[in-house]
Structure 1
């Protein structure tokens, strides 16, 4: 399977991508590990998941649980 390689400034598109990838894995840890490979750091918070773009680790949005 190939991924779409276009750049986006829309957090909505990033959120959709992250959630589609979450459906493909068995655990939250595996999902977070895979997302680091795509350049996103996903951290669990009290309200859901905080998403940061690597390598600068700048927060770009949150995904509510």
Structure 2
């Protein structure tokens, strides 16, 4: 079962770009998650992989690229 249905690819690309920029600025994974929460996003770890979702409603945006998960 897929969690992400009918998402705009352009919006997802912009969100991933923002998440990647914040990851480059953060010194730790904890700080990174705090920084992106300020933009209204969070990372949820699932069995299928990490998902970027909106706060506070936890609506999935897209899958987190594997290079950012490390």
Instruction: Name the TM tier (shorter chain).
Output: 0.7 to 0.9
Q: Runs of 5+ in structure 2 lacking a partner?
A: 1-9
| Equivalent position of 1:23 in the other structure | 24
Partner of 1:42: 43
Equivalent residue pairs, number: 57
Give yes or no for contact 1:40–1:51 (8 Å, CA) kept in 2: yes
CA RMSD of aligned residues (A): 1.7
Q: CA deviation at 1:44?
A: 3.5
1:64 positional shift: 2.3
Which residue does 1:53 correspond to in 2?
Answer: 54
Which structure exhibits the higher relative contact order, with contacts defined as CA atoms closer than 8 Å and separated by 6 or more residues?
Answer: 2
When normalised by structure 1's length, the TM-score is 0.73
Provide, for residues 12-53 of structure 1, a one-character-per-residue CA deviation record: whole Å limited to 9, x for no partner.
011001101100011111101111111001123466531001
Unaligned runs of at least 5 residues, structure 1? 1-8
More helix by share: 2
Deviant stretches of 4+, over 3 Å: 44-48
